[in-house]
Structures are given as C-alpha cells and as structure tokens.
Structure 1
Amino acid sequence: MKNRQNSIRIQTFEAIVIGVSAGGLAALARILPKFKKDFPLAVLIVQHMRRDADGFLWRHLDTLSRLTVKEAEDKEAIQPQTVYIAPPDYHLLVEPDRTLSLSAEARVNFSRPSIDVLFETAAETYQQRLIGVILTGANNDGTRGLKTIKSYGGLAVVQSPESAESDAMPRSAIEEVAVDHIVPLDRMGRFLNDLACGNSHG
C-alpha cells in the first residue's frame, strides 16, 4: 500500500463513493464483507452494467455484507450503514439535502450510470467529508469525478493497478489525480473500514 501524501490527515467522513467497472462483482465481494456492522458511513456505488441487468449484483452483495445493500431509489434519504447501488441505465446523483436522485440523461463517458456523475454531485454535497474510491475498470470514468472530490478536500483512494482485473481505470486516476492512497484489493476492505471508523492512515 502506498501513501501518496506524507502528512497525516485526520478527517471525519460521512460517505464513501465507489466507482467500478470490469471485474467489479469480484472486487466488491471481497471489500464489502470487511465492513463491520457498526460501519458509520453511507456507501454509494456505481458499477457499469448492462441496461437489462436484473438486480443480481445488489442481492448477491447483500448476502455477503453485514450492512444493508440495496438498489438506490429516487428521492431516497441517504442513511449510514447502508450500501446503495446505482440501478441499471440510470445516473445516480447526490442532492444537497442528502437524498438520492436518478436521471436518464445522456451517457457520460459512454456510461449510464456514470461514476463521474456520482462523484461530482457527492463532492458538492459532502465536500471534505467524502472518500472517493476507484476500483477495477476498463475505461477512464471516475477520473474527473475523483479530481473533483480532491478539489473539495475529500480523500482519494485507488485500487493498485497490479491487483485489478482491469487496470485502465486505476491507472487513469493515478496519472491524473493527486491520489492519497493506492491500496491492493486484498487490503482495501479493511483499509476503508479503518478510515470510516476513525483510524488514521497518514
């Protein structure tokens, strides 16, 4: 694991946003079970998927996680200890009143849902109290959004490309963003759990 910033950062967070594409199911299935039952944050996830996906992703992850895993719903209030998965063919946005909204507007980075859309709207709402995470994926969706999270004072975490099934998304983020932490997949779940629960990684 590499720490890109030398200074110790002690922050209190409200939410984690995760962007993932190719190889995402396997990656999330290794990360979410590491989150403890008292995990204090909300988790919002965009996984690129086919428009006809049937909900298997969130149902499968719900069986593995101590937290509630569900498909995000329009106008839903964001709650801690809950994992929200963007539904197929809808952008997932965070509103200023900390509710979710779904949008069928045009694709961004050839994707709907788009990681950038989630990250940018979450950054505007949570600012420095947000952790952004880029995992395995085959394009550059999420790089711009992670840069926005950093611009608001949030924390940027990226899966190590060497541990990613598809390394394009992690490599793009590392090249373009002042990433705080680069973490291998087998350590990512515990690492995020520690961040959420207030254990410092400097």
Structure 2
Amino acid sequence: MNDGGITAVAIGASAGAVQALLHILPPLPASLPVPVLIVVHVPADRGNALVSLFEARCDIVVKEAEDKEPAAPGTVYFAPSDYHLLVERDGTLALSADEPVNYSRPAIDVLLESAADAFGGGLVGIVLTGANHDGAEGLRAVAAAGGIAIVQDPASAMSGAMPAAALARCPDARVETLDGITAFLVNLVPA
C-alpha cells in the first residue's frame, strides 16, 4: 500500500471517455500499487473494444473485469458491455446484469457506490467527461465513505454535464484537469 493509504481507484466516463482515458492511462506505470476500475458507457450491442485499444498503449496491465476476480494492483479493469461492475466487501470484482441505472449498464453510480462500501477511505473516485448525471450519487458515496472525490474540470471536458452534475452532488470534490488527474495517479507510485 502507498503512503496515502489509497487502495483503489474507480473512474467513470461517458461521452468523450476514450479521449480522456487516452490522456490518463498510458502514463500509468506497471508498478502502480492499486487497481484501477473503470466504467465507460458502451452500447450493449457492441463488443467492448476498449481493452484492445488501451492494451497497446499502456505499460500497466489492461483487461476486462471478470466475475469473482480479485482486484489486483497494477491492473486496469474495464466493465464489460451490458454488465454492471461492482466490488464486493473483500475487494473481489462482481458483474451483474441487474436493471440499467441512469439508463446505463454498466453504470458509474453502481461501481462508485459498491467501491466506496468496499474500500472506504482508501478509494479515489473520479468522474470524467459525460453527457448525463451518472456518477454524481456514486461520487457523493465516495466522499461520504472518507474517500477522495475528483471531478474533471467541466470546462475542460468534452462533455461537461456529467462532471458538473457530480460537482453539484459532491461540492467538496477536487476539480482537476486531465493533466492534474494523471499526475495525481502517477504520484501514487512510491518514490
């Protein structure tokens, strides 16, 4: 575990997600001491091409989350299309085909709320660009559990609605540019 007591990172994004994540994920080193769990709104009828896109550009391990898989440090886990990604209390990943939340499956709120329950104050929750309000309640849950809540600066987001909604529900969240978010995550690696 790193000095800050951070044990996991959970990120949610929608419209503009690929561009934002192309900024954040490639600089992350393979030695990142925490898992990174990501929900991106992808259409249910389309295969999830995110893993192959990022695998080729990242030093850190990138994979699609599997049900009952322990979340390992130095690994980025993408939610599969048409499944909610949750975290069990023991840090194991879980997939669910429950009803969509905010018209989305996977839903960002589902990931952030379950990760807040599992990791408490050790969680960093990040809401990036997007065109709806998914992630707002989840980020509030992260902050309420003592975790670190970060919102992409709505003015710098391709679609500012989602970060603005998250900021409205979680006004004490840190507001960062993509460069600031990237630097924060890279700094989780012990010197």
Q: Would you call these one fold, judging by a TM-score over 0.5?
A: yes
Alignment match, 1:106: 99
Aligned residue for 2:43, secondary structure, equals coil
User: CA contact under 8 A between 2:167 and 2:173: conserved in structure 1?
Assistant: no
Aligned residue for 2:22, secondary structure, equals helix
Q: How far 1:55 sits from its partner (Å)?
A: 2.6
Aligned residue for 2:185, secondary structure, equals helix
Once residues 168 and 19 of structure 1 are traced to their aligned partners in structure 2, the CA distance between those partners, rounded to angstroms, is 13
- 1:36-90 CA-to-partner distances (Å, cap 9, x unmatched) read 2211110000000101222311111111111110010111111000000000010
- 1:114-159 CA-to-partner distances (Å, cap 9, x unmatched) read 1000001100010000000000000000000000011110000010
User: CA contact under 8 A between 1:35 and 1:190: conserved in structure 2?
Assistant: no
Task: Choose which of 78, 83, 92 in structure 2 pairs with 1:85.
Answer: 78
User: CA contact under 8 A between 1:19 and 1:135: conserved in structure 2?
Assistant: yes
Structure with the bigger RCO (C-alpha within 8 Å, sep 6+) is 1
Once residues 120 and 18 of structure 2 are traced to their aligned partners in structure 1, the CA distance between those partners, rounded to angstroms, is 28
The one-letter code of the counterpart of 1:14 is T
Over aligned residues, Cα RMSD in angstroms?
Answer: 1.4
Query: Given the alignment of the two structures, is residue 175 of structure 1 paired with residue 175 of structure 2, yes or no?
Result: no
User: CA contact under 8 A between 1:15 and 1:43: conserved in structure 2?
Assistant: yes
After TM superposition, the score normalised by the length of structure 1 is: 0.90
Alignment match, 1:97: 90
How many residues are paired up?
189
Alignment match, 1:7: none
Q: How far 1:98 sits from its partner (Å)?
A: 1.1
Alignment match, 1:126: 119
Aligned residue for 2:126, secondary structure, equals strand
Task: Choose which of 150, 155, 162 in structure 2 pairs with 1:162.
Answer: 155
Task: Choose which of 14, 22, 30 in structure 1 pairs with 2:7.
Answer: 14
User: CA contact under 8 A between 1:157 and 1:179: conserved in structure 2?
Assistant: no
Aligned residue for 1:22, secondary structure, equals coil
Structure 2: which 5+ residue stretches go unaligned? none
The one-letter code of the counterpart of 2:124 is I
- 1:143-182 CA-to-partner distances (Å, cap 9, x unmatched) read 0000001111000001001111100011011122033321
Structure 1: which 5+ residue stretches go unaligned? 1-9
Aligned residue for 1:191, secondary structure, equals helix
The one-letter code of the counterpart of 1:164 is A
Alignment match, 1:62: 55
Q: How far 1:198 sits from its partner (Å)?
A: 5.8
Task: Choose which of 138, 156, 163 in structure 1 pairs with 2:131.
Answer: 138
After TM superposition, the score normalised by the length of structure 2 is: 0.95
Q: How far 1:186 sits from its partner (Å)?
A: 3.2
User: CA contact under 8 A between 1:138 and 1:167: conserved in structure 2?
Assistant: yes
User: CA contact under 8 A between 1:33 and 1:189: conserved in structure 2?
Assistant: no
